[in-house]
Amino acid sequence: MSSAVVIDQRARSAEQKALRRHAVLEAAETYFREVGYEAFSMTQLAKKTGVAKGTLYLYFKTREELFLTLYEQSLIRWSNIFIGTLYDSMTSKAYAQSLYNTTKADRAFLPLLIRLEHVIEHNVAVPRLIESKQIFIQQVEIIAKLTSTALRLSTAQAREIVKTMGVLLIGATQTDQSPVLNNEELPADVQNLVASFSSEPLFIKNAVRIIESIRAEATSGF
């Protein structure tokens, strides 16, 4: 059982409030990793942090605004890890594999990304949504610049790849939501079918196809 993170409710200065907000976010991410999106409760988060539920809503107007902030943090964290794995003249497969491995390793980023456009962004104020989109644009530009060097493509082509990889990743990982059959005795044909729909081979194979297609378009002049 996880221990509660008690946060000093007497914070008054701007610096103290920023520190308390940061502590709430840390507790929220830990809690999110424990219970997932659907079971996440602001009431339980308030109990875990020792902060009144009403105080949480001073920092985050809705539950989804809290999730949006967690997503932004995880996006930046993942971006830094991923770009640290890039190197000059990578193969398309090595790039795709690194992208897949780093996103799967972050237990908050991918679950939040999957729900971002369909749920989270629909329940936040427009100014907050615009701010989040600007953070996303900044991160795409950072990743695209380094992707351009790694894959020997123009920045525009690299930008297209980065955006497309996100869409592909969301789609491919949806296949992991099916019932877990790892410990079941299955006929060979069913085993092969399940394996073929695993997110990793689906993502890697199609990511390589997309990268190579964009590379071919550059070579052919289209």
Tell me the H-state helices in the chain: 14-35, 42-49, 53-59, 63-83, 92-105, 109-116, 126-151, 155-173, 188-196, 199-220
pLDDT at 220: 61
pLDDT at 14: 80
**What is the fold of 1-59?**
Arc Repressor Mutant, subunit A (1.10.10)
* CATH 1.10.357.10 in the chain, residue ranges: 71-220
**What is the fold of 71-220?**
Tetracycline Repressor; domain 2 (1.10.357)
pLDDT class of 211 with cuts at 50, 70, 90: very high
What's the rounded Cα separation, in Å, for the pair 23 and 21? 5
pLDDT at 5: 56
Asked if pLDDT for residue 77 goes beyond 80, the answer is yes
Q: What does the pLDDT average to over 147-170?
A: 95
Q: Of residues 184 and 129, which shows the higher confidence score?
A: 129
Least-confidence region, from 90-99, 169-178, 204-213: 169-178
* Residue for token pair 């809690």: 31
Q: At what angle do helices 155-173 and 199-220 cross, to 10 degrees?
A: 160
For the entire predicted model, the pTM comes to 0.83
* CATH 1.10.10 in the chain, residue ranges: 1-59
In contact, 124 and 60? CB cutoff 8 Å:
no
Q: What does the pLDDT average to over 123-127?
A: 95
Please name which of 42, 61, 63 lies closest in space to residue 53, comparing C-alpha atoms: 42
* CB neighbour class for 142 (10 Å; exposed up to 12, middle 13-18, buried from 19): middle
pLDDT at 4: 55
The residues near 67 (Cβ < 8 Å, ≥ 6 apart) are 32, 37, 40, 112, 115, 120
The tens digit of pLDDT for each residue in 153-164 reads 999 999 999 999
pLDDT at 193: 59
**CA 139 remoteness from chain centre:** 12
Please name which of 92, 82, 86, 88 lies closest in space to residue 210, comparing C-alpha atoms: 92
Q: What does the pLDDT average to over 99-107?
A: 95
